[in-house]
């Protein structure tokens, strides 16, 4: 029923759908590792997507677009940082507010750009070895004929891993999320470190948005993130706050997303003479219906989330101990 | 010059602050939104004149405000009640979809007189909404899985399910549009004779009163508030978090289901695939503004109804995107949580004071 071309297409769609989640997921992970939950990913992504898009339309330079999106995401996360770190506000409420604000602002100001397209990041092969790697069947074109942002996302996974576990500043960041009091006593500036983590998170969410509007879709439409920001938040729990597992989760989600796009090419229905065909075929039709299939990524995220939490119940969930806890010095 | 910021935790909130905060918040949000309006070359004063004065002084505006207010009140309660136990029902929008689907199905498939059919539709919608949130509620109660993320993921699933039934099993026979048939007259909420207001408002006010009684005058309400204030102490006092969490979220889900069917039965008269009013998300600022009592939820919902109705007038009259309403909502939350800080701390700024005789490190260094 499905040949190599089908699987190559599926692999390509999977990789394409995953980059947004890797970028936003890594950003959220860094923020949460420092103890700050940011539910504004969706809003920061939208702001990144729109500012990057407009900049590219106006200047014709998609690099500038990406840069502006990163700055915009970072600037927006600064509001969250100020409210949660300086004013000790409720992190959940502040994050939800950012998502509402981002959705509103981008719909409001993006109205006149709605449906416009832009020529953004082109797909490229890597220099020197790229042409060789593309020859790998099925996975070659998917992985090695991509946009710069796709490569950057893949590269960021080891970079973030190295940063968190093998640099002083990374370890300080983790310590702030685990035990801010002790970190403070050891001379780590808790406030500065948390601000840094939240801003990096916002910048990466902005980059994820720019990837969406400049590389993945190359158009602007309101609410085009379609809940991916929330998936990124769930992904961090799935990944148990470890960067390498963000990659795994993002690909899993991307695969479900891709399967939906290719569902029409699949036909599992039984022949007329097959036993139980009358009962099973309507079930298969329902399960393979594209609208029903678009629920699978959310259901899969939920399922994985539940399994992760329940299985970890007796062991360590690895959630940063001080997550969602505000820290103020004058507690004595 | 030396600027020193001194923070002191307040022991009690002054009266003027408790009552002034919501008013101040709304005014501040409107002032900042004026900047967004000005950026689109719209005169903010003219815009707010359309938004508020015209909405509240015309008969059409008032009727629309009440009509839109009904689902907003229910959606507000759907977030308000769980919030009393410190739970965030972010997925009211999804519960609203499922309630709308279930209620519409009953309205289209059961033939009964209006006085039996309407209550049955509300019952079905409420039950469906409650069941839809039951899994996230159970996951939160039993395993501590974050209800914000699960209720939200369920919203995306609910939206797709609604699209599926409206394009498939429930699509009106022979219709080219993804929509159901129109509800029979017995399934539509009538208007109140004489004043022309939608009768849904009466049902909504009754449920606001019931919620008020539940939270403020029953033992269960006391337990909900206690768990919300300090869950560890409440468990030590023998209260069951499990039971309370399931209860508040499922009743919240039922309210969201009411929001869905009241909108379909009272305003739309049929379910369309593109039905996505966003009431479940507006419910968040409504519950935050009204978190001190069910009747304040009612007032906050009516306030948002005014800006919704005014927002769509702006769209028609001045071609301003109706998303201005989203911006105002977000800004209201922003100023509310900022004000929360000033409620908790007394902040005094002092300039050029000599600090040499005070030990260092006992005051926050420059942080506000």
pLDDT in tens, B79-122: 999 999 999 999 999 999 999 999 999 999 999 999 999 999 99
Q: Using the 8-state DSSP alphabet, how is residue B276 labeled?
A: -
Q: Which of B146, B151, B319, B344 to mutate: most A Cβ within 10 Å?
A: B146
- pLDDT band with cut points at 50, 70 and 90 for residue B352: low
In chain A, where the domains are located = 4-266+278-313
Note the residue count of chain B.
Answer: 368
- B14's CB contacts (< 8 A; 6+ apart) are none
Name the range with the highest mean pLDDT among A114-118, A293-297, B179-183.
B179-183
Q: A90 to chain B nearest CA, in Å?
A: 8
DSSP-based three-state secondary structure for A308: helix
Residues B165-192, mean pLDDT to the nearest whole number: 91
Q: What is the CATH number of domain A4-266+278-313?
A: 1.10.3470
Q: Which backbone phi and psi does B6 adopt, to 5 degrees?
A: -115, 125
Partner-chain contact A309 B145, CB within 8 Å: yes
List, as ranges, residues 190-249 from B with C-beta within 8 Å of A: none
DSSP A105-125: HHHHHHGGGTT-B---PPPEE
Name residues 269-288 of chain B within 8 A of A (Cβ).
Answer: 281, 284-285, 288
How far is it, in rounded angstroms, from Cα A225 to Cα B325? Answer: 20
- Name the residue among A86, A87, A108 with its Cβ closest to that of B321: A108
For residue B9, pLDDT beyond 90: no
Whether chain A has a CB inside 8 Å of the CB on B4: the answer is no
Instruction: Of B146, B153, B167, B132, give the one whose Cα is nearest residue B271.
Output: B167
- Among the partner-chain residues B90, B157, B161, the one whose CB lies closest to the CB of A96 is B90
Q: How far is A295 from chain B (nearest CA, A)?
A: 5
Interface test with B, best of A90, A302, A311 (most B CBs within 10 A): A302
CB B261 within 8 A of CB B99: yes
Residues of chain A in contact with residue B156, where contact means CB-CB under 8 angstroms, are 227, 295, 298
**Lowest mean pLDDT across A188-202, B264-278, B337-351:** B337-351
State the Cα–Cα distance between residues A281 and A275, nearest whole angstrom: 11
In the beta sheet, which residues pair with residue B6?
Answer: B348
What pLDDT sits at residue B367?
41
pLDDT tens for residues B109-121?
999 999 999 999 9
**Cα B314 to Cα B27: distance, rounded to the nearest angstrom:** 19
Lowest mean pLDDT among B7-11, B162-166, B187-191, B327-331: B7-11
Using CA of residue A141, residue A142, residue A144, residue A150, what is the dihedral sign?
Answer: positive
**Residue B114 near residue B108 (C-beta atoms within 8 A):** no
Higher-pLDDT residue of A129 and B69 is B69
pLDDT in tens, A236-274: 887 889 999 999 989 988 888 888 777 766 767 677 677
CB neighbours (10 Å) of residue A101?
24
What is the Cα A279 distance to its own chain's centre?
Answer: 39
CB contact (8 A) between residue B145 and residue A222: no
What is the C-alpha radius of gyration for chain B, rounded to an integer number of angstroms?
Answer: 23
- CA-nearest of B201, B181, B182, B205 to B190 is B201
Integer Cα distance of B23 and B336 in angstroms: 10
Rounded to 10 deg, the angle between the B324-344 and A91-110 helix axes is 150
pLDDT in tens, B131-162: 999 999 999 999 888 898 899 889 989 999 99
Is the pLDDT confidence value at B364 over 60? no
pLDDT tens digits for range B238-292: 888 999 999 999 999 999 999 999 999 999 999 998 888 889 988 998 998 888 8
The answer to whether the Cβ–Cβ distance between A109 and B367 falls below 8 Å is no
**DSSP bridge partners of B348:** B6
CA distance A78 to A40: 11
The residues that bridge with B350 in the sheet, in sequence order, are B4
Burial annotation B251-272 (CB, 10 A radius, 16+ → b, else e): bbbbbbbbbbbbbbbbbbbbbe
Asked if A329 and B364 come within 8 Å (Cβ–Cβ), the reply is yes
Kindly report the average pLDDT of chain B as a whole number: 89
Per-residue pLDDT at B176 exceeds 90: no
The answer to whether A238 touches A245, Cβ cutoff 8 Å, is: yes
Residue B362 has pLDDT above 50, yes or no: no
- Decide: helix, strand or coil at residue A332: coil
Q: What is the mean pLDDT of residues B65-79?
A: 96
* Secondary structure (DSSP) of B148-208: HHHHHHHHHHHHHHHHHHHHTTTSPTT-SSSBPPPPPGGGSPPBPTTT--BTHHHHHHHHH
Interface of B with A in 141-170 (CB under 8 A): 143-146, 148-150, 152-154, 156-157, 160-161, 163-164, 167-168
**In chain A, which residues have their Cβ closer than 8 Å to the Cβ of B143?**
306, 309-310, 313
Bridge partners (DSSP) of residue A117 are A219
pTM over 0.95: no
Q: Which of A115, A105, A110, A122 lies closest to A55 in space, CA to CA? A: A110
Query: What pLDDT score does A277 carry?
Result: 75
Strand, coil or helix: what is A15? helix
Which of B323, B324, B344 to mutate to test binding with chain A, by most A CBs within 10 Å of its CB? B323
Cα A229 to Cα A48, A177, A283, distances in angstroms: 12, 22, 32
The 3-state DSSP class for residue B291 equals coil
pLDDT at A190 over 80: yes
Q: Which alpha helices (H) appear in chain B, and where do they start and end? A: 15-39, 44-48, 55-57, 59-84, 92-109, 114-143, 147-167, 200-217, 219-229, 231-236, 241-263, 279-289, 294-318, 324-344
Whole-angstrom distance, CA of residue B166 vs CA of residue B180: 6
- Worst-scoring range by mean pLDDT, A250-259, A285-294, B13-22? B13-22
Q: How far apart are CA A49 and CA A225, in angstroms?
A: 9
Residues from chain B contacting residue A103 (CB–CB below 8 Å): 323, 326
Which secondary structure element, helix H or strand E, spans residue B347, and what is its range? strand B345-351
- B126 contacts B254 by C-beta, under 8 angstroms: yes
What SS3 state is found at B284? helix
Taking an 8 Å cut-off on Cβ atoms, the answer to whether A291 and B284 are in contact is no
H or E segment and range at residue A67: helix A62-81
- Separation of alpha carbons B49 and B179, rounded Å: 36
Q: CB-CB: which of B149, B327, B341 is closest to A101?
A: B327
Q: Which candidate in A104, A221, A238, A307 is best for mutational testing of the B interface (most B CBs within 10 A)?
A: A104
Strands (E), chain A: 124-125, 145-146
Is the CB of A39 less than 8 angstroms away from the CB of B36? no
Closest CA to B164 of A259, A280, A286: A286
Give the CA distances from residue A132 to residues A13, A127, B175, in Å, rounded to whole numbers and listed in that order.
Answer: 21, 10, 54
In angstroms, how far is the first alpha carbon of chain B from the final one? 17
Minimal CA–CA distance to A69: which of A188, A225, A196?
A225
- Test B327 with A105 for CB contact under 8 angstroms: yes
């Amino acid at each position: 029923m499905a040949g190599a071309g089908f699987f190559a297409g599926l692999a390509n769609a999977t990789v394409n759908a995953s980059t947004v989640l890797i970028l936003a997921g890594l950003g959220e992970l860094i923020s949460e590792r420092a103890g700050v939950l940011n539910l504004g990913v969706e809003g920061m992504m939208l702001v990144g997507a729109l500012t990057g898009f407009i900049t590219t339309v106006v200047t014709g330079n998609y690099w500038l677009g990406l840069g502006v999106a990163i700055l915009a995401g970072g600037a927006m996360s600064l509001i969250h940082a100020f409210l949660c770190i300086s004013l000790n506000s409720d992190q959940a409420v502040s994050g939800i507010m950012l998502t509402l604000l981002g959705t509103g602002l981008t719909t409001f100001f993006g109205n006149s750009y709605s449906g416009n397209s832009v020529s953004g990041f082109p797909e490229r092969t890597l220099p020197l070895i790229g042409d060789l790697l593309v020859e790998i069947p099925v996975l070659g074109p998917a992985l090695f004929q991509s946009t710069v942002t796709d490569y950057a996302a893949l590269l960021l996974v080891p970079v973030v891993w190295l940063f968190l576990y093998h640099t002083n500043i990374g370890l300080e960041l983790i310590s702030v999320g685990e035990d801010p009091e002790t970190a403070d006593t050891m001379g780590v500036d808790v406030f500065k470190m948390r601000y840094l983590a939240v801003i990096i998170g916002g910048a990466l969410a902005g980059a994820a948005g720019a990837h969406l509007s400049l590389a993945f879709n190359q158009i602007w439409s309101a609410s085009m993130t379609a809940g991916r920001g929330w998936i990124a938040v769930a992904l961090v729990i799935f990944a148990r706050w470890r960067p390498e597992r963000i990659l795994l989760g993002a690909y899993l989600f991307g695969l479900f997303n891709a399967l939906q796009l290719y569902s029409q090419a699949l036909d599992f229905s039984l022949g007329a003479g097959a036993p139980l065909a009358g009962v099973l075929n309507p079930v298969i039709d329902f399960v393979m219906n594209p609208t029903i299939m678009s629920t699978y990524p959310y259901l899969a995220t939920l399922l994985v989330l539940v399994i992760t939490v329940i299985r970890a119940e007796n062991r360590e969930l690895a959630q940063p101990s001080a997550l969602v806890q505000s820290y103020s010095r004058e507690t004595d | 010059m030396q600027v020193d910021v001194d923070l002191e935790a307040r022991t009690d909130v002054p009266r003027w602050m408790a009552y002034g905060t919501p008013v101040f918040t709304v005014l501040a949000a409107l002032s900042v939104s004026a900047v967004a309006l000005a950026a689109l070359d719209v005169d903010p004063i003219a815009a707010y004149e359309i938004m508020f004065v015209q909405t509240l002084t015309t008969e059409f505006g008032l009727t629309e405000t009440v009509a839109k207010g009904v689902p907003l009140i229910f959606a507000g309660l759907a977030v308000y009640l769980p919030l009393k136990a410190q739970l965030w029902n972010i997925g009211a929008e999804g519960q609203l979809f499922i309630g709308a689907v279930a209620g519409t199905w009953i309205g289209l498939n059961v033939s009964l007189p209006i006085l039996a059919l309407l209550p049955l539709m509300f019952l079905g919608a409420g039950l469906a909404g409650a069941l839809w949130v039951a899994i996230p509620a159970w996951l939160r109660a039993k395993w501590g899985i974050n209800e914000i993320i699960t209720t939200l993921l369920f919203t995306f699933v609910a939206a797709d399910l609604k699209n599926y039934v409206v394009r498939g099993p429930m699509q009106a026979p022979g219709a080219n549009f993804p929509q159901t048939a129109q509800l029979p007259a017995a399934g539509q909420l009538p208007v109140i004779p004489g004043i022309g207001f939608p009768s849904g408002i009466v049902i909504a006010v009754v449920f606001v009163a019931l919620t008020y009684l539940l939270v403020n005058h029953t033992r269960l309400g006391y337990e909900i508030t206690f768990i919300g204030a300090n869950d560890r102490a409440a468990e030590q006092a023998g209260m069951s978090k499990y039971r309370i969490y399931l209860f508040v979220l499922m009743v919240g889900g039922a309210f969201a289901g009411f929001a869905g069917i009241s909108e379909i039965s009272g305003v739309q008269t049929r379910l369309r695939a593109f039905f996505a009013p966003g009431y479940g998300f507006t419910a968040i600022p409504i519950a935050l503004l009204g978190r001190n009592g069910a009747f304040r939820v009612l007032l906050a919902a009516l306030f948002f109804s005014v800006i919704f109705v005014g927002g769509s007038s702006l769209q028609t009259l001045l071609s301003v995107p109706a998303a201005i309403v989203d911006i105002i909502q977000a800004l209201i939350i922003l100023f509310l949580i900022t004000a929360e800080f000033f409620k908790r701390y007394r902040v005094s700024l002092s300039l050029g004071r000599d600090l040499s005789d005070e030990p260092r490190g006992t005051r926050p260094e420059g942080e506000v």
